[in-house]
Amino acid sequence: MSLHFHWFLPTYGDSRNLMAGGHGSDMSGDRPATLRYLKQLAGAAEVNGFEAVLTPTGMWCEDAWLSTAMLLETTDTLKFLVAMRPGLTSPTLAAQMAATYQWQSQGRLLLNVVTGGESSEQRAFGDFLSKDARYERCGEYLDIVRRLWTQEGPVDFTGRHLRVQGAQLARRPDPLPPVFFGGSSAAAGAVASKFADTYLTWGEKPDAVAAKLNWIRGLAAAEGRELTYGIRLHVISRDTSEQAWAEADRLLGALDPAVVAGAQQNLAQSESEGQKRMLELHGGGAAFNAETGARSLEIYPNLWSGVGLVRGGAGTALVGSHDQVADRIAEYAALGLDHFILSGYPHVEEAYHFGEGVRPRLIKRGLLDADDHAPEPVRGAFLTSYEPASAS
């Protein structure tokens, strides 16, 4: 078995500290997401053996398609897991964009379908459907896209929300971009079982993750399909457990209680079932107290809920020594997870900590093939390659 490891491309900026916002809220870092910095970050991911980088989507970040397209010529093998939000463009245009991207990149496109969990943000984009209706439209959208990629002749489709007539592509994507899809609601599960190639979950305790995977497996089996599965986590990996938790303590200690309270108030209004599950892991921030230390938010061995105090979306991190992080990855992999999408603060430096510390241990355990996206023989390059943070 060889697992797939991906990194994250924060197109809203980066920082040495936890950043508040996301998932429909404003978010920015004190390291701006300039093209120069994104090139450095993509290079760090590629050097350290990551297969792809995930990009976010929303009003609070740069456009995923344009940002990643500008990085193609500065990378060699790195793939781009591009966020696609159904309903904001026509399905025919999205299918065409994917085909063009796949051709010009020579097969380096993967797609992460983001239906849109917050109605307030969707309305800003001109979309006034309810959450369940958005998922219904998403299914129609992906049905049309898949037909355009695979069906001979023009595509005609009439659904409740979408209609196309005589749609076709001058070029089909080859290979077909794998479709990643996440969501914890019943409406999300129905779409995932029919149209996803890889189902994604945010990092919860292993028993909760196992239950969610079994739920999706059952839905997919009813459709006569089998999916692969992935998990989204942050990571703080160091030579020793003490060093890793000291970094978590530093991140926690830098948080302003007023910022935590404001972030939790915003996130508590989320319509997303996944976001609600993230908030439950740390009690909605009610127990936040930097003086009690980061380990007070350790909800499972080496699983820390502190990131979710201020960040929307994925709110948990693997924290520990390189061996301990490898242990937890092995435990999650045993549940049937194939893809691990990771990130850390700051992203350039943490990519090296993982690539140099955890990756060799995964190879030794047989969880990763040594030749899969093998890192170049570069050590410590991040010490001089990143743009320094501003004085603020």
> In terms of pTM, does the model score above 0.85?
yes
Mean pLDDT over 172-196 rounds to 96
Instruction: Decide if 332 contacts 343 (C-beta within 8 A).
Output: no
pLDDT score of 36 more than 50:
yes
Render pLDDT for 106-148 as a digit per residue (tens, 0 to 9).
999 999 999 987 888 899 999 999 999 999 999 999 999 999 9
pLDDT in the model for residue 1: 67
Secondary structure E strands in 36-189: 52-54, 79-84, 109-113, 155-158, 163-167, 179-182
For residue 283, which amino acid is it? Answer: G
How does the average pLDDT of the chain come out, rounded? 92
Q: What does the alpha-carbon distance between residue 257 and residue 304 come to, in Å, rounded to a whole number?
A: 18
| Residue 66 burial by Cβ neighbours in a 10 Å radius (0-12, 13-18, 19+) | exposed
Q: CB of 288 within 8 A of CB of 296?
A: no
Extract the tokens encoding 245. 């938790």
Instruction: Find where tokens 């964009």 sit.
Output: 97
How far apart are the C-alpha atoms of 114 and 47, rounded to whole Å? 28
Q: pLDDT tens for residues 158-168?
A: 999 999 999 99
At 253, is the pLDDT very low, low, confident or very high (cuts 50, 70, 90)? very high
* The pLDDT value given to residue 287: 62
Following DSSP, what letter does each residue of 332-377 receive, concatenated? HHTTT--EEEEE-SSHHHHHHHIIIIIHHHHHHTTSS-TTTTPPPS
Residue 244 has pLDDT above 90, yes or no: yes
- Of 231, 204, 205, 233, give the one whose Cα is nearest residue 319: 233
Do the strands 298-300 and 303-304 form a parallel or antiparallel pair, or are they unpaired? Answer: antiparallel
Is 70 exceeded by the pLDDT of residue 286?
Answer: no
Q: What is the mean pLDDT of residues 15-27?
A: 85
- Sign (positive or negative) of CA dihedral 306, 307, 313, 318: negative
